[in-house]
Amino acid sequence: MLDAGENILAFVRHGKNENILCAFNMSNVAANFHVPKHMALKDLAAPGSVDIDNAKELELPAFGALIAQIVS
């Protein structure tokens, strides 16, 4: 689990050849998620996931999600 604030559940899924960052806004209002400084992300275009645009701070809509590949 990552420290992501009160209303965001965030964790990294580790696979054989890739790591996936998953962050979910568990509230009914938008919330900001700060991407850890050491992470570079690649957009996976997962259904329902916000666009990354290489930002280090993302706004997750109410009950929104971020699913992205960690590239470094």
Q: Please give the CATH superfamily to which domain 8-70 belongs.
A: Golgi alpha-mannosidase II (2.60.40.1180)
Compute CA 44 distance to the chain's CA centroid, rounded to the nearest angstrom: 11
Which residue did the predictor score with more confidence, 32 or 52? 32
CA atoms within 13 A on the CB side of 13: 10
pLDDT at 8 over 90: yes
Which residues have CB under 8 Å from 19's CB, separation 6+? 12, 13, 69, 70
| Reported pTM | 0.89
| 3-state DSSP assignment of residue 9 | strand
Q: Sorting pLDDT into bands at 50, 70 and 90, what band is 66?
A: very high
- Sequence-ordered alpha helix ranges (H) in the chain: none
Read off the pLDDT of residues 14-44 as tens digits, 9 standing for 90 and up. Answer: 999 999 999 999 999 999 999 988 899 998 9
pLDDT confidence of residue 55: 76
